[in-house]
Structure 1
């Protein structure tokens, strides 16, 4: 896993970036790390008095979370697991003045490993506190450590009534993603309380307010938070500020039951991070109504979705199901953006909207006659029934017969063909429509264009056959 690390020097310290995303700025990193660490350790001290506490930090390779864990004398053992040796090296060099050499302390054992693999091998009921200090996920693979399966593993390795603290995303900027994590934690048999705070450097980078979750197998009580012990010399947290962090505007909290759970089978978190609905964009920060999560104890109120919205087959099934529903003129189709989702970090919903607005233009670029002739030239490679349908379709199109006069099977095939090309266009537009590419050289040959045409044909051929198999299963009720 390759990452780009960048350290910015400024008058008040440094700012650290991974792949262009701010990880911390020393001017205010204490806000983030104290809210992540201090409540969790303090609660554990209340719940396990006169006990040598064992703490696991997942991520946190910069050593800043470990620094704050070390404030508590009751903590006797800290295991820290981070997959990135470069960050761990920085922790012991550049970051050392800020983490106070935390990773070199005798209590701390560092493991250079993937956290999911590490936790999978741990004994049950071992740690009193687990702190998850991960980077913002920028791929579906990186959401593994935010999944239901992950939190179930964490719940297993924590002692009964032990504490889990995890960073999240912005409740305002990524509202559905935040509450997706909330429901995912609840689904792992954890009773959780959400928190939100303002971190100036995060806000200045457009990340919005920031969220955390504090959870346990037993309820976190208001009395525990009100009587929590706070060490001396904290920079960013006091009792009143901590109590206020659990209070959410109803405009933000109101969507917490409108999401689905994130799992390894259905990576919903990454979908929510990439796709912002209009409803999310209209969230009000000042509805005038507030919800204090210290006063409520909720159970999971969400499920794992039936379809993975980032999976191309799910998109195709949606299209096909609505093709069958098309004769019902009164039927209103769902929001098409939900089923043409942003699937890459460098895309956005505006790009998809713009693409949809040119749908007719895109379709017009498909030379159906030429495509059919290409397919028919390979008819011997096709299943006989598909070859016959192609021949019939070619005859209809050659006679310029309107689509309305085609039998339903032919109309269906046209739809399948169009969907295949349009879906593939989102992945490899130049390849699908054989537009070629400019190599920047005046003497470039046409080989690259021919290759692209060939690749586009393969996408179309395989996609068409694949979609046909889907529709066959739908007919059979599978």
Structure 2
């Protein structure tokens, strides 16, 4: 996908957007970059005293992360790899006043940028080719993923490569996603880092410019080959002249309990079983803070719970159907919360998703169930026997007014299947399915009572094919 770069100039700085997403605003970018970089480098410096530190920065072509790494005199070398030549050029020119010349390669620059070597390459391939245990710290400063290929550098395979190139006791820090607005996505990333044998500590940071964009509080992960101890972090020594990190910075490891408790509900993200993008596109309901702002301090928490892999690709329709059916059997929703109608594109904003769900509810509300079942049962010979049997049972429940809570498990599944296929049929052939109300087009109007032609053969076969397909999915799941 083509990359769109946009710079918005202001009186005292600028804001940089990539494909419409804010990357940084110079008014408060120090909050982002200092939390991402400084604790990690300070921890590495503390663990490896009197050792020239080698630091790898993946992404960060704007040079701002490199600036903060170079604040440490102990850092002898920074290797930066970014795939975007255009962003790197901006880092050497337009952004130079803000990154203090970190990418210019001039020894006379403020921070001594001759310590930096820059590579224009995909980070995954670059890191895979590196030898083992060659860096004391790795900083991952990637953009928010908007396509499946973007999530490769958030996968377990990626973090395993990062762990491989770290020396024993080395430190990694990674930009996450919004812990407030993409809570499930953030915990998916957290579990993924943990699965790569790294001790991970989540950080929740408020960045005003991000909040104005609707991103909410941002999330980072500080991780290490070896446990991260509270006493280590409390003893860290930071460089002078920082703008954002204060004496009480360690509070960023306090995560609101209602958000933190969701971390065990999501799987980890792998190349074979990708799921991160699903959770970024389908964040679920945003949790509002409770009256009692109880939080979990992750520095006091030693995770013992296991992580799990979800084998289906949650952006594929087959997998979505399996998830819906699974929800019927797990009403407590202990896994995969709120898997309703999944968005599959980055341009599906929360408002668009909400409107889409409202449209779906409206369509389903127009279904005249008794008339639909009667028409289906008139063609029962054309349906699988089990499907027809369940339809008869469902019709009897509707006729006698029994609540659906007493419907058999298979009939419950069938109800979901019918709703899905009706939505599919209405999308492909509107008004070819049984519904209340009326339809008008081109000056013609059709009422619902007595107009069986509204339920045409095309709509019927769309539902039959979809129903049989969904039924087979259910049976395959039961046979596994």
What range describes the TM-score normalised by the shorter chain of this pair?
0.7 to 0.9
For 1:336 and 1:252, locate their aligned partners in 2 and report how far apart those are by CA, in whole Å. 13
Tell me how far 1:208 sits from its aligned partner. 1.2
For 1:101 and 1:424, locate their aligned partners in 2 and report how far apart those are by CA, in whole Å. 59
99 and 417 in structure 1: CA distance in 2 versus 1, 3 angstrom threshold: same
Residue 275 (structure 2) pairs with residue 261 (structure 1): no
Tell me how far 1:99 sits from its aligned partner. 1.0
Corresponding position of 1:282: 288
For 1:291 and 1:414, locate their aligned partners in 2 and report how far apart those are by CA, in whole Å. 41
Corresponding position of 2:95: 95
| Aligned partner of residue 76 in structure 1, secondary structure | strand
Residue 142 (structure 2) pairs with residue 137 (structure 1): no
Q: Are the equivalent residues in 1 in contact too, given 2:174–2:222 (CA < 8 A)? A: yes
For 1:166 and 1:53, locate their aligned partners in 2 and report how far apart those are by CA, in whole Å. 18
Residue 473 (structure 2) pairs with residue 470 (structure 1): yes
Residue 209 (structure 2) pairs with residue 201 (structure 1): yes
Q: Are the equivalent residues in 2 in contact too, given 1:318–1:339 (CA < 8 A)? A: no
Size of the aligned set, in residue pairs, is: 425
For 1:291 and 1:320, locate their aligned partners in 2 and report how far apart those are by CA, in whole Å. 33
Corresponding position of 1:344: 345
Structure 1 residues 186-195 or 245-254, which shifts more?
245-254
352 and 235 in structure 1: CA distance in 2 versus 1, 3 angstrom threshold: same
Tell me how far 1:351 sits from its aligned partner. 2.8
Tell me how far 1:274 sits from its aligned partner. 2.2
* TM-score in terms of structure 1 length: 0.76
Aligned pairs for 1:94-113 (under 5 A) are: 94-105=94-105, 106-113=114-121
Corresponding position of 1:163: 171
For 2:209 and 2:327, locate their aligned partners in 1 and report how far apart those are by CA, in whole Å. 46
Residue 301 (structure 2) pairs with residue 296 (structure 1): yes
336 and 81 in structure 1: CA distance in 2 versus 1, 3 angstrom threshold: closer
Q: Deviations over 1:206-264 (max 9, x none)?
A: 211222111101111222212212111111113x2322222233343233333322222
Residue 209 (structure 2) pairs with residue 210 (structure 1): no
Structure 1: tracts of 5 or more residues without a match:
326-330, 373-387, 393-400, 436-455
| Aligned partner of residue 264 in structure 2, secondary structure | coil
Aligned pairs for 1:18-417 (under 5 A) are: 18-105=18-105, 106-238=114-246, 240-278=247-285, 280-284=286-290, 287-318=292-323, 337-345=338-346, 346-348=348-350, 349-360=353-364, 389=382, 404=395
For the aligned residue pairs, the C-alpha RMSD in angstroms reads: 4.0
Corresponding position of 1:16: 16
For 1:89 and 1:55, locate their aligned partners in 2 and report how far apart those are by CA, in whole Å. 21
132 and 273 in structure 1: CA distance in 2 versus 1, 3 angstrom threshold: same
Structure 2: tracts of 5 or more residues without a match:
106-113, 386-391, 397-407, 433-458
Q: Are the equivalent residues in 1 in contact too, given 2:258–2:287 (CA < 8 A)? A: no
